[in-house]
Amino acid sequence: MRVLVLGGAGFLGSHTLVALAEAGHAPVALDNLVNASARAVERAAGLGGRAIPLVVADVRDAAALERALREHRAEAVIHFAAHKAVARSVREPLEYFDNNVGGTVAVLRAMQQAGVERLVFSSSATVYGVPARVPIAEDAPRGAVNPYGHTKHACELLIEDACAAGGRLAALLLRYFNPVGAHPSGRLGEDPRGTPDNLMPFVSQVAVGRRPWLPVFGADWPTPDGTCVRDYLHVMDLAEAHVAALGALEGGAGRAPALNLGTGRGHSVREVVAEFERAAGRPIPTRVEGRRAGDVAVLYADCGRAAQVLGWRAQRDLRAMCADAWRFQRENPSGYAAG
């Protein structure tokens, strides 16, 4: 299938390009390169064994999206392009709604104009807010607790309404838990600009010597070792779930079901640090700090519905996530910047 991948130069997008190419699809990347590198698309093309065009455009530009869809005769869209830093979303809600929700309006308009009827949307476990119980299943109520989460909830509602409007649009809302790791080649990985917001890239940068220690946000949580527990998912498992999602859209017109993507297993911050120390063969200094606003003690997914609908289950464990993240960091200590 010819697939336009919005946000294709980013962390999740670039790995998905490889999985699509390996599965025999023809991906095209579109990205504004504000928080991503064209090198990631070049490297994905090398790994996937086929040319992958890159369209440099903003996801809010419906005319540019429509042109890209027509020019590349796209049959499906995978929409990763969004802002995702929770703290920044609290300071800049307008920018977050404009980019994330405004962008998704533009995507749906362009798809309608160009007659493209298949959409896979990047949602997040953030839509659940503070869940009443774990594991979290898709029918748990949505109740995001920050502007970033509100934008993902709003996009889900928008896509559900667009599907219900009677056209032929078929969509899947994929709710990611904590995607981490890297392509096993060491050529592709996560390369955040500035101080990383998330645990794994922060740990990697401490391991490679770019930062002196990892702040641990609270060691007094009601968990076995006192640190928060999350459902970490290898980015190549996530990429493969998107390939399966394209197949599952067939015959799904008028619907936008949500699917959790995780492993269904939780790991604490201390477990992640210990596994990364093993992978890197060096100690990772930590300092316990206060709890981060908005964190909850334990989050992990019920992944039963994804298994049923996609025939997909995560294959890679925490050891592989850390080993692959470390390989990318070691071989690209400054990320993509150095070439």
Amino acid at 262: G
Measured distance CA(25)–CA(242) in Å, rounded? 12
CB of 215 to ligand UD1, least distance (A): 5
Q: Which of 96, 128, 148, 300 is catalytic?
A: 148
Q: CA torsion, points 286, 288, 289, 293, in degrees to nearest 10?
A: 90
326, two tokens: 């470390």
Site for ligand UD1 in 108-127 (CB under 6 A): 124, 126
Q: Is the peptide bond before 135 cis (omega within 30 degrees of 0)?
A: yes
Interface map 151-190 toward ligand UD1 (x if CB under 6 A)? ---------------------------x------------
CB of 217 to ligand UD1, least distance (A): 4
Measured distance CA(109)–CA(115) in Å, rounded? 10
Instruction: Tell me the number of residues near ligand UD1 by CB under 6 A.
Output: 21
Our CB check for ligand UD1 shows the closer of 95 and 197 to be: 197
Question: Which burial class, exposed, middle or buried, applies to 194 when counting CB atoms under 10 A from its CB (0-12, 13-18, 19+)?
Answer: exposed
CB of 25 to ligand UD1, least distance (A): 25
CB of 316 to ligand UD1, least distance (A): 17
86: contact with ligand UD1 by CB under 6 A: yes
294: contact with ligand UD1 by CB under 6 A: yes
CB of 3 to ligand UD1, least distance (A): 23
Site for ligand UD1 in 206-225 (CB under 6 A): 214-217
104: contact with ligand UD1 by CB under 6 A: no
Contact 234, 324 (CB under 8 A): yes
Q: Considering only 36-44, 53-61, 191-199, 276-284, which stretch makes contact with ligand UD1 by CB under 6 A? A: 191-199
198: contact with ligand UD1 by CB under 6 A: yes
Measured distance CA(128)–CA(139) in Å, rounded? 10
148 is catalytic: yes
Q: Considering only 17-25, 54-62, 198-206, 305-313, which stretch makes contact with ligand UD1 by CB under 6 A? A: 198-206
271: contact with ligand UD1 by CB under 6 A: no
Q: What Cα–Cα distance (Å) separates residue 177 from each residue in 23, 57, 127, 174, 191?
A: 24, 28, 11, 10, 19
Q: Are strands 76-79 and 2-6 parallel, antiparallel or unpaired?
A: parallel
CB of 228 to ligand UD1, least distance (A): 3
Among all residues, whose Cβ is closest to ligand UD1?
228
Measured distance CA(267)–CA(318) in Å, rounded? 8
95: left (phi > 0), else alpha (psi -120 to 50), else beta? alpha
CA atoms within 13 A on the CB side of 113: 15
Please give the positions annotated as active site.
148
Provide the binding-site residues for ligand UD1, judged by CB under 6 A.
Answer: 84, 86, 124, 126, 148-149, 178, 197-199, 202, 214-217, 228, 230, 269, 292, 294-295
